[in-house]
Amino acid sequence: MALEKITKVTGSAAYVPGNDIDTDRIIPARFMKCVTFDGLGEYLFHDVRKDENGVDRDHPLNDERFSSASILISNANFGCGSSREHAPQALYRYGFRAVIAESFADIFFGNCTTLGMPCVVAKAEDVRALAAVVEANPAAEVTIDVVGNRVLSEGIDFAVKIPQAAHDALVAGQWDPIAELQEGDSEVAQRVAALGYLPAGK
């Protein structure tokens, strides 16, 4: 089954401000003892969303106005720190389908891309403008035009950057190398048989 071509992401957004938001803040290490990634969304930003007694702190993702957000907005060097794959998985399992920030840590960016979750780089002033729109109207529709490298919302339209390799992979529906390999199972089997290195059926 072919992967979805990620040409556009549209939805409401939530702004989580801060520079150098690292992967341990996104998903604390103690929640990584899991067999699958399925439940990680529950613990997204846990230690900044909850106090030591499990009571909600003042945090954008605890604000009911942003409960349906599917696009995350943040600032510089988002996803820095350890290279844990669990961080983008937690974002995805929570319901986010794209991230707009001033810059990203490289490994985090790559892990997001292999989930089909675009990370687009915007200027600081454009992030501020978009954050102001979202704060004024949490239901505002935000569109990331992946093909055209732009973000549009109520009264704003600005350019963003996506590294060319990631851009091309998303738009072509070739963003998950493991899925691509699985799609080629029959071709791999044929090549193995032709080479004769392994007995048939091994």
Question: pLDDT digits over 42-52, tens only?
Answer: 999 999 999 99
Domains of the chain plus CATH, in order, are 8-174 (3.20.19.10)
How far apart (Å, rounded) are the C-alpha atoms in residues 34 and 24? 16
Predicted confidence band of residue 107 (pLDDT cuts 50, 70, 90): very high
Question: pLDDT digits over 114-137, tens only?
Answer: 999 999 999 999 999 999 999 999
DSSP 116: T
Give the mean model confidence (pLDDT) for residues 171-185: 78
Predicted confidence band of residue 1 (pLDDT cuts 50, 70, 90): low
Token pair, residue 171, equals 């738009």
Q: Report yes or no: 46 and 32 within 8 Å, Cβ to Cβ.
A: no
Helix count and strand count (H, E) for the chain: 8, 8
Question: pLDDT digits over 18-37, tens only?
Answer: 999 999 999 999 888 776 78
